[in-house]
């Protein structure tokens, strides 16, 4: 993976995403770990994004 690889971390309440984070791989791993500590009963996904699936505006959500 290159340093430009982005990941999306989502926190789910059933079928509804209630938190959405897009960042570099290291930041996404830290965010996922923090969400797992804070919300151990909710589903959390961490997915790699192809470059075409995000824009620079997404990185500041």
Rounded to two decimals, the pTM is: 0.76
* Residue pointed to by tokens 């770990």: 33
**Domains of the chain, residue spans:** 6-41
What DSSP assignment string belongs to 17-52?
A: EEEEEEEEHHHHHHHHHHHHHH-TTSEEEEEEE-GG
Q: Give the Cα separation of 46 and 35 in Å (integer).
A: 11
pLDDT < 50: residue spans in the chain: 1-2
pLDDT tens digits for range 2-14: 456 899 999 999 9
Question: Given this model, what pLDDT does residue 50 score?
Answer: 82
């Amino acid at each position: 993976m290159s340093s430009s690889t982005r990941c999306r971390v989502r926190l789910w309440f059933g079928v509804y995403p209630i938190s959405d984070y897009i960042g570099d791989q290291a930041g996404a791993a830290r965010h996922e770990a923090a969400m797992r500590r804070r919300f151990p009963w909710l589903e959390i996904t961490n997915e790699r994004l192809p470059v075409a699936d995000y824009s620079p505006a997404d990185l500041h959500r």
